[in-house]
């Protein structure tokens, strides 16, 4: 999976990480899909899962802290969510990122132009 456009740490993203995938696809969101109050200022509203989150990941770039001599074992990766509305939730109220959900997001045959719910969401946002 390749991420670009504003995701500076994207090279560290792991599509095998359920937490990273959930965050990328669905943040910002609330547990169980509860909506913020109608008049809420979404820039300051406290989401259960805010738009940006730092994940501890292996230090692939071998970054050395200022004043240090050896690369750190891990570093922070900042990931900004795309805000796609969750399709279903786990028993704990977290947006599900299981394969059936990913298939609905992708669509039955994207290579033939038969896109799924992610395309519909971004089309409505004016992004294709």
Helix, coil or strand: residue 36: coil
Q: Across the chain, what does the average pLDDT equal?
A: 88
Confidence of residue 83 (pLDDT cuts 50, 70, 90): very high
This prediction's pTM: 0.80
CA 60 to chain centre: 20
Rounded to whole angstroms, what are the CA distances from 5 to 8, 41, 57, 110?
8, 25, 20, 21
Is the pLDDT score of 8 beyond 80? no
């Amino acid at each position: 999976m390749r991420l670009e456009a504003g995701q500076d740490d994207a090279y560290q993203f792991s599509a095998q990480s359920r937490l990273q995938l959930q965050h990328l696809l669905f943040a910002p969101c609330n547990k169980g899909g509860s909506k913020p109050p109608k008049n809420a200022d979404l820039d300051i509203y406290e989401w259960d899962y805010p738009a940006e989150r730092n994940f501890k990941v292996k230090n692939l770039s071998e970054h050395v802290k200022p004043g240090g001599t050896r690369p750190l074992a891990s570093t922070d990766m900042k990931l900004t969510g795309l805000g796609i509305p969750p399709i279903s939730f786990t028993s704990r109220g977290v947006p599900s990122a299981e394969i059936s959900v990913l298939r609905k997001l992708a669509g039955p045959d994207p290579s033939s132009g038969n896109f799924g719910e992610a395309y519909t969401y971004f089309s409505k946002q004016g992004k294709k």
